Amino acid sequence: GAVVSQHPSWVICKSGTSVKIECRSLDFQATTMFWYRQFPKQSLMLMATSNEGSKATYEQGVEKDKFLINHASLTLSTLTVTSAHPEDSSFYICSARAGGQSEKLFFGSGTQLSVL
Amino acid sequence: AQTVTQSQPEMSVQEAETVTLSCTYDTSESDYYLFWYKQPPSRQMILVIRQEAYKQQNATENRFSVNFQKAAKSFSLKISDSQLGDAAMYFCAYSNTGNQFYFGTGTSLTVIP
């Protein structure tokens, strides 16, 4: 199956700093990538949908100035948490949808963000 | 709006036995896809099984099978001959042709040796 690589897997940062998370599709071109947030023992909450070459579409309640998403190529999307605060601590997961397999979603391994 | 409901927060099964996880969804569309994803303690999301709504035949993948009832908007997952490695969170998901994925709240499955 298709592989989605997500880095870093775990990051600890000080409050007020920015953190960038990368999501790469390794063996396919991802026309669409999704970013999710997951709290312990809860479901995935969709934060935003990014399409290559265009602005991301954010879900209601998600601050687009705080969670910057860039999808500059068909294999890379990045999520930057700007001026992170402890309440931003969470597990972030990216996923990618292959153009030729539009009904399948491939997931990265996730990033645990801890803001001190 | 599409919603996915999993009414069983936790389930347990004896090793080698069979367990069924429930999922219902709400949609007004006729063309869509349904999925079951597994999330083990590693937290990597793994696709277990997929069903196209236009297919009447229930999907099967080895020990995993679904009972897809389109009229009732029900999509349950049956795990046969349960193994210890099946212990995980299971998420039911719905996807329409408009690029949207919706996940249920998950069912935590415990496999008892």
Report how many Cβ contacts below 8 Å link chain A to chain B. 49
Phi then psi for residue A86, to 5 deg, are: -55, -30
Contact A43 B47 (CB under 8 A): no
Number of neighbours of residue A59 by Cβ within 10 angstroms: 14
Q: List the structure tokens of A34.
A: 């999704």
Separation between Cα atoms, residue A45 and residue B105, nearest integer Å:
10
Three-state DSSP class for residue A100: helix
Name the residue among A32, A44, A104 with its Cβ closest to that of B99: A32
Whole-angstrom CA distances from A31 to A28, A71, A73, A98, B63 are 9, 9, 9, 6, 33
Note whether A85 contacts B: Cβ–Cβ < 8 A. no
Mean pLDDT of chain A: 90
DSSP A26: S
Mutate which of A105, A111, A113 to disrupt the B interface (most B C-beta within 10 Å)?
Answer: A105
What is residue A35's three-state secondary structure?
A: strand
B42, B101, B106 member nearest A105 (Cβ): B101
Tell me the C-alpha distance between A114 and A57, whole Å: 25
What is the pLDDT tens value at each position of chain B, 113 positions in all? 568 999 999 999 999 999 999 999 999 988 899 999 999 999 999 999 999 999 989 999 999 999 999 999 999 999 999 999 999 999 999 988 766 788 999 999 999 99
Q: Which amino acid is at A48?
A: A
Question: Which residue on chain A is closest to B45 by alpha carbon?
Answer: A107
Token code pair at residue A89 = 């601590």
How many CB atoms are closer than 10 A to CB B101?
Answer: 22
Phi, psi of A109 (to 5 degrees): -85, -5
Which of A34, A43, A102 shows the shortest C-beta gap to B106?
A43
Residue range A65-70: average pLDDT? 94
Contact residues on chain A for B51, CB-CB shorter than 8 A: none
CA distances from A109 to A7, A71, B14, B19 (A): 8, 18, 29, 27
Residue A113 has pLDDT above 90, yes or no: yes
- Nearest-angstrom CA–CA distance, B95 and B113: 35
Are residues A95 and B45, on separate chains, in Cβ contact within 8 Å? yes
Contacts of B89 in chain A (CB under 8 A): 41
What is the layout of strands, in order, in the sheet containing A4-7?
A: A4-7, A19-25, A76-81, A67-73
Q: Smallest Cβ distance to B105: which of A43, A49, A91?
A: A43
How many percent of chain A have pLDDT more than 70? 94
